[in-house]
């Protein structure tokens, strides 16, 4: 068995070593060859096959660039369609899954320099719905497959047909009821005198007499309408009566004056916002780059608030003290179960426990842990209105 055989020990060992991602700088896209180290990459660059590929690329470089770009786009969209469908997903999640395959097309061989440029291009071309959030770019695949469109149209046609059938059935029942009632005279009630044969006997009234007469009338018309039509008519009458009774019950339930006052107070609290939010003893993050990489994206504790808009902060890692404007800071959201402080709105200044986080709406739910509102559960508080306590 020769060394170049597919099942030779050396060939098997090489395939085992080449599994998974390796360093991109030792990968040749033109030859689609991954070298394991710098020495192997240098040897490959000196080979005749590599030189021949470079000569071919130099004759028409745009052709190769378009080819790699098209392959990258098709593979990326195919993975997005098969793996995530039409769900909204972060573009970096899809990209990491795409590059996990060893034989993928590298982005540095395409017309796009970064993943953000590629995401914007997908939005401009109408291939995906893209939107930018504080957490990055999100994409949503637009399925324009003819089979999918045909299936959706078929479902809409079926729903419309079902509605038409229901309308036809209702009209048929109405016509049958009208025909059954034509020529029928309504029986007038007969009033009789109340006589007591025995004075000791108790007087009893049958309050369900009207119901019994209606049942008798319906039994008379059942021979004309048929059992199935009558059942459907009775079901329609019951639905109308239940809807009418529910509407009356909602009208009867009026809000009391105390409830209205409490709702007005809650609305005032929600709308009482200010343009300053700094509070002592909260943890913030420095977002300005003017101080250099030493302080950028680092956390600090607010020690003092000056003129509402300026804070003296102490760095957590180094202990340095800085004087910064609130525009150079942002709030820090802790893990659920940690203590936070409300910085804006009607609950400003109250401490609470973070219960849960809604990443889609960028809001949180807290339970007030101090003051007269202790124990109250507040939902929908935005990220910028709360921060972690030191």
Say yes or no to pLDDT of 229 above 70. Answer: no
What percent of the chain is modeled with pLDDT above 90? 15
Longest distance between any two alpha carbons in the chain, whole Å: 126
Selected from 1.10.10.2030, 1.10.10.10, 3.10.580.10, 1.25.40.10, the CATH number assigned to the domain covering 22-141 reads: 1.10.10.2030
Start and end residues for every CATH 2.30.30.140 domain found in the chain? 277-332
pLDDT score, position 120: 92
pLDDT score, position 252: 43
pLDDT score, position 211: 46
Q: Is 0.75 surpassed by the pTM of this model?
A: no
Assign 281 a pLDDT band (cuts: 50, 70, 90): very high
Residue 76: both structure tokens together: 């990326």
User: Strand pairing of 33-34 and 88-90?
Assistant: unpaired
Confirm or reject CATH 2.30.30.140 for domain 277-332, answering yes or no: yes
Start and end residues for every CATH 1.10.10.2030 domain found in the chain? 22-141
Average pLDDT score over residue span 31-59: 72
Say yes or no to pLDDT of 212 above 50. Answer: no
pLDDT score, position 267: 65
Of 21-25, 106-110, 378-382, minimum mean pLDDT range: 21-25
What percent of the chain is modeled with pLDDT above 70? 70
CA neighbor of 286 nearest in space, from 319, 318, 322 = 322
Average pLDDT score over residue span 8-26: 66
Residue 105: both structure tokens together: 């097309």
Say yes or no to pLDDT of 379 above 80. Answer: yes
């Amino acid at each position: 068995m020769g060394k170049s055989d597919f099942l030779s020990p050396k060939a098997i060992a090489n395939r085992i070593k080449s599994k998974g991602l390796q360093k991109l700088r030792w990968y040749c896209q033109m030859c689609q060859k991954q070298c394991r180290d710098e020495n192997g990459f240098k040897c490959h660059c000196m080979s005749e096959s590599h030189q021949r590929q470079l000569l071919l690329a130099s004759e028409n470089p745009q052709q190769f660039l378009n080819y790699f770009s098209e392959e990258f786009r098709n593979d990326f969209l195919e993975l997005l369609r098969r793996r995530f469908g039409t769900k909204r997903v972060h573009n970096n999640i899809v990209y990491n899954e795409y590059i996990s395959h060893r034989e993928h097309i590298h982005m540095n061989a395409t017309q796009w320099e970064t993943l953000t440029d590629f995401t914007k291009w997908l939005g401009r071309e109408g291939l995906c719905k893209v939107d930018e959030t504080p957490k990055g770019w999100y994409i949503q695949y637009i399925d324009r497959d003819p089979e999918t469109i045909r299936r959706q149209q078929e479902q809409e046609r079926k729903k419309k047909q079902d509605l038409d059938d229901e309308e036809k059935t209702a009209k048929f029942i109405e016509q049958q009821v009208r025909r059954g009632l034509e020529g029928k005279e309504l029986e007038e009630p007969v009033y009789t005198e109340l006589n007591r044969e025995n004075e000791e006997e108790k007087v009893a009234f049958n309050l369900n007499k009207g119901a019994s007469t209606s049942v008798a009338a319906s039994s008379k018309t059942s021979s004309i309408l048929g059992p199935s039509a009558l059942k459907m008519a009775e079901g329609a009458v019951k639905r109308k009566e239940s809807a009418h009774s529910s509407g009356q019950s909602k009208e009867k339930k009026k809000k009391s004056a105390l409830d209205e006052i409490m709702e007005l107070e809650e609305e005032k609290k929600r709308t009482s916002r200010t343009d300053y939010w700094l509070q002592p003893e909260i943890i913030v993050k420095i977002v300005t780059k003017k101080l250099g990489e030493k302080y950028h994206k680092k956390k600090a504790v607010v020690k003092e608030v000056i003129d509402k808009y300026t804070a003296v902060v102490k760095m957590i890692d180094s202990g340095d003290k800085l004087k910064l404007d609130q525009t150079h800071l942002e709030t820090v959201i802790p893990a659920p179960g940690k203590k936070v402080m409300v910085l804006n709105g009607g609950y400003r200044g109250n401490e609470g426990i973070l219960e849960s986080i809604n990443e889609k709406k960028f809001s949180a739910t807290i339970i007030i842990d101090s003051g007269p509102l202790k124990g109250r559960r507040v939902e929908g508080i935005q990220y910028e209105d709360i921060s972690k306590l030191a």
